[in-house]
Structure 1
Amino acid sequence: MDPLVRKQIMNLSSQLDGVDLVAKATAMIPFLREKADETNSLRHPPEEVRLRLKTDGVARLWQPKRYGGAEGGLIEGADILREIGRGCGSTAWILAQNIMHNLMLANWPQQAQDEIWAGSPDALVSGILIPGIGKAVKCDGGYMLSGRWPFVSGCEIADWIIFTGECVIDDTAEKKELHFVLPKDQVNILDTWYTIGLRGSSSQDCVLSDAFVPEHMAVTLDDLKGKGSSPGSKVNTGWLYKVPLYSLFGCYIGSAALGVAEAAVDYFLENARKRVSTASGSSVSNFTTQQVKVAEAKTAVLAARQLIYSVLADAEALFKRGDISTVEDRTRYRAIATYAGKLAASAVNLVLDAGGGGVIYERNPIARCVSDVTVAHRHITQNWDVNASTYGRVLLGLPCGVDALAD
């Protein structure tokens, strides 16, 4: 890395407290749009984008102040991801992982945090949280981890990657789900990410075969449930580090996708105000059908934003009071975020329907928005049937059925 760039990054370690990271994200939009074609072509962000994410510090919103992080609020995270999504959906998708995984890492033992952040506070952390894929075996001083994990977004520009794996860790012979963090250079990245959307998100498959992970680089699923009892809670004592991570992940994945949807609506409006029908020669903006569709699309993205922000405002108020979340809280957070995702996807489909033949061309930025949201909407946190049924079970007095959301 260029020494000047490294100096800029290291200087941020004492400057992020009070920095307006949302404004930095907004300022990146023109740059990200300029780089979007290259990002999609490479199937990962180019080096200039990776360095911009580091120098602007946007991934460090929830990094502890001990390492120069901002320890910002929950709504700021949604704001940042929406703005980055307006610039480039693939980059926003990666940043959602980077921001959330920094928050996760604050639950690891201090030794692990020091190893990752003390010398490189700008580290980008990717990961995949699908349970039951990886297999780990306890050994002297740590674990031997093996597996193949799909959808590891941002893996090619990451410095560290989090994987999940099942392991027997005590005499009960019961398998428990652990989370492991490893340097990217220990990971075999397979070239599998050929998709119809989010092409630049570098969501490749990753493989490990008996990779040694020191004991201090692993935590249990229970450590990430937001109870304030994780190894990292001994040094990170603020309200932010008691947040139930899994229940809010959908808000941030959804915010990245929402930014793409908002961009699609804006692109459409910009074009429709000056567009003339090929068949009639009339201004398209005079057509009632266009007026209704654009009104519905704009209303959908505004409503989606309000739903996501309502969840984050409720959660932030809860944890600032020193309370803890219930199972009903956590499943409700997921369900509302997923419903917001439905609205965002509907807005993009409305724009697609209203856009005419011009939307089918790759040169039209709306086309990329359509393909990116189509892929984003397939994420598990955006699956309405899955998340609605979980919330519905709890409302009906049944167990939620999802370990990551249960007590």
Structure 2
Amino acid sequence: MTVTANGVQGMALPSEPDVTPAVLIERARAMAPALVARQRETEERTYYAEDTHLAFRDAGFYRITVPKRYGGYEFGFDTFLQIVMTLTRACPSTGWMYCLGAAHSLFAGSMFGEKAQAELFSGGDFIAPLVNAPHGTARRAADGGWILNGVWKYCSGAPYATHLIGNTMIVEDDGKPARPLLFIAPRDQWEMLDDWGWQLGLKGSGSHSIRISDGHIPSHFGLEVNFEEISVTGGTPGRDLHEHPQYGGAPASSMALEGAHIAVGMCQGALDAYTELMFSRTTILPPFPPRAEDPDFQLWYGQASSMIDAAETLVLATARRWHELSEQPIGAFTAEEDLRIALTCREATSLAWRAVDEIIQPTAGSTAVREGERLERVWRDLSTGRTHVSSAVLLTTVANRGYAQLRLQSERR
């Protein structure tokens, strides 16, 4: 049992109670140069180094959206996302791994009940990959909990994770149809497989598979719900438990925001590499001035940088919209608003990607994309990130149709 400053039992004092979001963002900026310099070793290891992990821990990065009552900062999700964008700009693999591991304290603090949260956040820091696709099976244990078996792929953040958030199917011996289970499994119930690093890009993102063999979790660590059908219009456990209204926000759009901030951060890193080339490389025609003095390169640079700036402006505004909806009375964050935010994130991502795909990469020159060059690495990481099923498939098909249907229904009224 812990005691707060006002003497109330059962609630933990937040670490560094006087720290501000601006301080955490500045800490991330200060770390960026070292992350740029260590990109190669991060890829070779397949995840960021332990001393980087410890630096993130000491900086408080794993407690940004952990609720205050459990020792977290309970800062806005937008603060977390700005730190993600900063880290990803420096090293896409590091930013991806950090984001998709640390982001989900928001989800756990929103969707699970008080008993579960008290146990899940007992360690203070919370790192949990979240795998939407259902894998494996769950069966009822004799004590009413769940027995889990299976392998969950693409668990970004697994190397330093405290938990896994996964989806599976409940199977029973009575012949009833299988039904979904969303669960959280602590680290001692699973093992990480050594199966990451052979992809084109994001080689250092720690996106290993996780295997659970007869893992046991208590019943309150499982929710019998399909992730894609989660609705917050009736409220959430977290909205009732915590002061910050963000624990009543919609999870699907929050995860789209994660992906958009990662993508924009990657493209900012590509622009950083392109900027260096503007001063270090010359044109191919006499009198061979630096690219920064050439009208054509100035044109390309201006167009690419403005597109990436516009994408950043869009994702920051969309994050504010997510917070505004969360602050409104329960019921305001509808499925239509959820999809609207997710699709806006897709457009921001597309805009930033076009700047790299259509301008930066073609005009940088072949020497800039030799193995080991920063732009080459960012290009590979962006290309791999674009294959993520959420952005490549769901946000271009199912989400479009669903949003159109909901919006047309509202227009008909």
Is 1:206 matched up with 2:210? yes
Aligned equivalents of 1:87, 1:104: Cα separation in 2: 26
Pick from 110, 114, 122 the counterpart of residue 114 of structure 2.
110
Contact 2:249–2:325, Cα closer than 8 Å, also in 1:
no
Aligned 1:212-361 pairs, distance under 5 A? 212-221=216-225, 225-227=231-233, 229-236=235-242, 238-277=244-283, 280=286, 281-323=288-330, 324-349=332-357, 350-361=359-370
Give yes or no for the alignment of 1:43 onto 2:43.
no
- Post-superposition offset of 1:395: 4.8
Unmatched segments (≥5 aa) in structure 1 = 1-9, 401-407
Match of residue 200 from structure 2: 196
Q: Describe the shift of the 1:149–1:292 C-alpha distance in structure 2 as closer, same or farther (beyond 3 A).
A: same
What aligned pairs does 1:120-159 form with structure 2 within 5 A after superposition?
120-130=123-133, 132-140=134-142, 141-159=144-162
| Partner amino acid, structure 1, of 2:17 | Q
Partners of 2:404 and 2:21 in 1: CA distance: 45
Question: What does residue 383 of structure 2 align with?
Answer: 374
SS at match of 2:264: helix
- From the superposition, tell whether residues 22 and 226 of structure 1 become closer, same or farther in structure 2 (CA, over 3 Å): farther
Identity of aligned residues (%): 25
Matched residue of 1:248: which SS? helix
> Could you give the per-residue CA deviations for residues 300-324 of structure 1, whole angstroms, max 9, x where no partner exists?
2112112212222222112212242
The one-letter code sitting in structure 1 at the alignment partner of 2:252 is Y
Q: CA deviation at 1:337?
A: 0.6
What is the TM-score with the length of structure 2 in the denominator? 0.86
Q: How far is 1:370 from its partner?
A: 0.8
How many residue pairs end up in the alignment? 388
- Cα contact 1:44–1:157 (8 A) shared by 2: no
1:365 to 371, 374, 379: 374
- Partner in structure 1 of residue 67 of structure 2: 64
Q: Distance in 2 between matches of 1:25 and 1:11?
A: 24
**1:96 and 2:95 are equivalent in the alignment:** no
Give, in whole Å, the separation in 1 of the partners of 2:235 and 2:320: 23
The letter for the 2-side match of 1:213 is: I
- How far residue 103 of structure 1 moved from its aligned partner, in angstroms, is 0.6
CA deviations 1:182-226 (Å, max 9, x no partner) are: 222432322221111111111112222222121121224379533
Instruction: State how far apart, in whole Å, the 1-side matches of 2:402 and 2:160 are.
Output: 39
CA contact (8 A) 1:24 1:58 kept: no
Matched to 1:147, the amino acid is G
* Aligned twin of 1:15: 17
Task: Answer with 107-116 or 147-156: which moved more.
Answer: 107-116
Q: Which residue of 2 aligns with 1:80?
A: 83
AA paired with 2:391?
Answer: Q
Kindly state the Cα deviation for residue 117 of structure 1 after the two structures are TM-superposed: 2.2
Deviation sequence 1:69-115 (CA, Å, 0-9, x none):
22222322321111011121111111222332111111323333222
Structure 2 stretches lacking a partner, 5+ long: 1-11, 409-413
Distance 2:378 2:195 in 1: 22
Q: Residue 152 of structure 1: SS of its match in structure 2? A: coil
In structure 2, give the amino acid aligned to 1:210: D
Name the aligned partner's letter for residue 327 of structure 2.
K
Shift in CA distance, 32/51, structure 1 to aligned 2, threshold 3 Å: same
Question: For the residues of structure 1 that align with 2:186 and 2:403, how far apart are their CA atoms?
Answer: 41
Q: Which moved more, 1:233-242 or 1:47-56?
A: 233-242
Question: How far apart are residue 376 of structure 1 and its match?
Answer: 1.2
RMSD: 2.7
Give the letter for the 1:347 counterpart.
A
* TM-score, normalised relative to structure 1: 0.87
Report if aligned partners of 1:17, 1:69 keep a CA contact under 8 Å in 2: no
CA distance in 2, matches of 1:367, 1:87: 14
- Contact in 2 for aligned 1:64/1:70 (Cα 8 Å): yes
The code of the aligned residue for 2:158 comes to C
Larger displacement relative to structure 2 (120-129 or 55-64) = 120-129
Name the SS of the counterpart of 2:82 in structure 1.
Answer: helix
Q: CA deviation at 1:292?
A: 2.7
Secondary structure at the counterpart of residue 132 of structure 2: coil
1:121: Cα distance to partner? Answer: 0.7
Instruction: Please state whether the residue corresponding to 1:181 is helix, strand or coil.
Output: strand
Deviations 1:148-176 (A, max 9, x none): 2111111112122111112269x994543
**Partner SS, residue 135 of structure 1:** strand
